[in-house]
Amino acid sequence: MKKSIAVLGLGKYGCSLAETLYKLGEDVLVADIDEKVIRDMSSKVTAAVCTDLSNEDDVIALGLQNMDIVIVCMGGNIAASITCIAIAKEQGVKTVIAKAISPRMKAVLERVGADKIIDPEQEGGVRTARIVASQHIHDYYELDDNLCMIEMRPKSAWVGKSLIDLELRKKYNMNVAAIKNPKGKWVFVNPTYVLEENNLLMIIIEKKDFNKIK
Are 96 and 89 in contact by the 8 Å Cβ rule? The answer is yes
Residue that terminates a domain, selected from 132, 159, 191: 132
Please, what sign has the CA dihedral across residues 104, 110, 127, 166? positive
- 8 A C-beta contact, residue 108 and residue 83: no
Residues 124 and 158 in one domain: no
**CATH number (domain holding residue 196):** 3.30.70.1450
Whole-number Å distance between alpha carbons of 113 and 88: 9
Sheet holding 200-206, edge to edge: 137-142, 147-152, 200-206, 174-180, 186-187
Same domain, 119 and 27: yes
| pLDDT tens sequence across 15-71 | 988 998 898 889 999 999 999 999 999 999 999 999 999 999 999 999 999 999 999
> For residue 174, what are the domain limits?
137-212
The answer to whether residues 178 and 81 belong to one domain is: no
> Could you tell me which of 73, 32, 38, 35 has the C-alpha nearest to residue 55?
32
CATH number at residue 81: 3.40.50.720
Per-residue pLDDT at 203: 85
Asked whether the whole model's pTM tops 0.85, one would answer no
Structure confidence at residue 127 (pLDDT): 67
Same domain, 40 and 99: yes
Of 132, 154, 182, the domain-final residue = 132
Q: Is the domain of 49 the same as that of 105?
A: yes
Shared-domain flag, residues 20 and 43: yes
Are 125 and 143 contained in the same domain?
no
Residues 15 and 117 in one domain: yes
What is the per-residue pLDDT for 144? 66
Q: How many structural domains compose the chain?
A: 2
